[in-house]
A and B are shown apart, each in its own frame.
Chain A
Amino acid sequence: MTVLPSNSLRQGPDERGHFGIFGGRFVAETLMPLILALEEAYEAARRDPAYHAELGNLLTHYVGRPSPLYFAERMTEHLGGAKIYFKREELNHTGAHKINNVLGQILLARRMGKSRIIAETGAGQHGVATATACARFGLECIVYMGAVDVERQKPNVFRMEMLGAKVVPVQSGARTLKDAMNEALRDWVTNVDNTFYCIGTAAGPHPYPAMVRDFQCIIGEETREQMLNLEGRLPDSAFACIGGGSNAIGLFHPFLDEPSVELYGVEAAGHGLEVENGHAASLAGGRPGVLHGNRTYLLMDDDGQILEGHSISAGLDYPGIGPEHAWLKENGRVTYLSATDKEALDAFQLCARLEGIIPALEPAHALARIIEIAPKKSRDHLMVLGLSGRGDKDIFAVAEHLGGM
Chain B
Amino acid sequence: MITGKAMTSRIETRFAQCRAQQRAALVTFIMAGDPDAAISLDILKALPKSGADLIEVGMPFSDPMADGPAIQAAGLRAMHAGMTLNGVLRQVGEFRRHDADTPIVLMGYYNPIYVHGVEKFLIEAKAAGVDGLIVVDLPPEEDEELCLPALRAGLNFIRLATPTTDDNRLPAVLANTSGFVYYVSVTGVTGASRPDYSKVATAVRRIKAHTPLPVAVGFGVKDAAAAAEIALNADAVVVGSAIIDALARTLDSDKRGGPATVAAVSKLVTELAAGVASARR
Which A positions have Cβ atoms within 8 angstroms of B? 16, 24-34, 172-173, 178-179, 181-182, 185-186, 189-192, 287, 289-293, 295, 298, 300, 302-306
- Contact check, A33 vs B65: say whether CB atoms are below 8 A apart: no
In contact, A26 and B138 (Cβ under 8 angstroms):
yes
Q: Smallest CB–CB gap between A202 and chain B, Å? A: 19
Q: Give, as a whole number of angstroms, the nearest-CB distance from A146 to chain B.
A: 13
Give 8 A-B contacts (CB < 8 Å), ordered by A residue: A26-B110, A26-B138, A30-B66, A189-B187, A190-B192, A291-B111, A292-B63, A295-B114
Answer whether residue B1 sits at the interface, using C-beta atoms and an 8 A cutoff.
no
Contacting pair A304 B141 (CB below 8 A): no
A28 near B136 (CB under 8 angstroms)? yes
- Give me 9 other A-B pairs in contact (C-beta within 8 A), A192-B164, A303-B86, A304-B61 excluded: A28-B139, A172-B72, A182-B63, A190-B189, A289-B114, A289-B115, A293-B137, A295-B114, A306-B63
Indicate whether B85 reaches chain A with its CB closer than 8 angstroms.
Answer: yes
The residues of B with any CB-CB pair to A shorter than 8 Å are 60-66, 68-69, 72, 79, 84-86, 109-116, 136-139, 141-142, 159-166, 169, 173, 184, 187-189, 192
Contact B110 A25 (CB under 8 A): no
The 8 Å CB contact of A289, one of B72, B111, B159, B188, is: B111
- The 7 tightest CB contacts between A and B, nearest first, are A304-B112, A304-B115, A190-B188, A30-B162, A305-B62, A185-B65, A182-B65
| Residue of B165, B166, B188 ringed by the most chain A CB atoms within 10 A | B188
List A contacts of B161 (CB < 8 A): 29
Within 8 Å CB of B141, what residues of A? Answer: 16, 24-25, 32
Known: A192-B187, A304-B85, A305-B61. A29 touches B112 (CB 8 A): no
Q: Is the CB of B110 within 8 A of A290?
A: yes
A206 CB to closest chain B CB (Å) equals 9
Distance between Cα atoms of A192 and B69 in the complex (Å): 19
Among residues of A, the one whose C-beta sits closest to the C-beta of B137 is A26
Q: How far is the CB of B124 from chain A (nearest CB, A)?
A: 14
Residues of B within 8 A of A190 (CB): 187-189, 192
Is there an interface contact between A291 and B163, defined as CB atoms closer than 8 Å? Answer: no
A29 touches B114 (CB 8 A): no
Q: B183 to chain A: closest CB distance in Å?
A: 10
Q: Which residues of B contact A305 (CB under 8 A)?
A: 60-62, 79, 112
Q: Which residues of B contact A172 (CB under 8 A)?
A: 69, 72
A189 to B192 Cα, complex, angstroms: 11
Q: Identify whether the interface residues of B are mostly helix, strand, loop, or mixed.
A: loop
- Which residues of chain B are near A33, meaning CB under 8 Å? 164-166, 169
CB distance from A211 to the nearest CB of B (A): 17
Cα–Cα distance between A179 and B65 once the two chains are bound (Å): 9
Instruction: Select the residue from B60, B64, B111, B161 with max chain A CB neighbours within 10 A.
Output: B111
Q: Chain A nearest CB: distance from B80 CB in Å?
A: 11
B142 and A306: CB pair below 8 A?
no
* A residues in contact with B62, CB < 8 Å: 173, 305-306
Contact of A290 (CB < 8 Å), options: B116, B137, B192? B137
Instruction: Give the docked Cα–Cα distance between A185 and B68 (Å).
Output: 11
A358 to chain B, nearest CB (A): 34
Our pick among A178, A186, A304 for the contact of B111 (Cβ within 8 Å) is A304
Whether B173 contacts A303 by the Cβ 8 Å rule is: no
Closest A residue to B113 using CB positions: A304
Which B residues lie within 8 Å of A182 (CB)? 63-65
Residues of A within 8 Å of B169, CB to CB, are 32-33
Instruction: Report the bound CA distance from A181 to B164 in whole Å.
Output: 21
B85 contact set on A, CB distance < 8 A: 303-304
Nearest-CB distance from A189 to chain B (Å)?
6
Residues of B within 8 A of A185 (CB): 65-66
| Contact status B138-A34, CB under 8 Å | no
The residue of chain B having its C-beta at the shortest distance from the C-beta of A33 within the complex is B164
Instruction: Assess whether B84 is in contact with A303, with CB atoms less than 8 Å apart.
Output: yes
B63 adjacent to A28 (CB under 8 Å): no
Interface pair A304/B65, CB less than 8 Å apart: no
From A189, A293, A298, B188 is in contact (CB under 8 Å) with A189
CB-contact partner of A189 in B111, B139, B166, B189, under 8 A: B189
State how many angstroms separate the Cβ of A393 from the closest Cβ of chain B: 26
**A396 CA / B61 CA spacing, docked (Å):** 35
Chain B residues lying within 8 Å of A27, measured Cβ to Cβ, are 137, 139
- Cα(A30)–Cα(B204), bound, Å: 16
CB pair A34–B164 under 8 Å, yes or no, is yes
CB closest residue in chain A, given B64: A182
The minimal Cβ–Cβ distance linking A114 to chain B, given in whole angstroms, is: 15
Distance in angstroms between the alpha carbons of A293 and B136 in the assembled complex: 11
| Cα(A304)–Cα(B68), bound, Å | 21
Shortest C-beta distance, B245 to chain A (Å), equals 17
Bound Cα distance A364, B163 (Å): 46
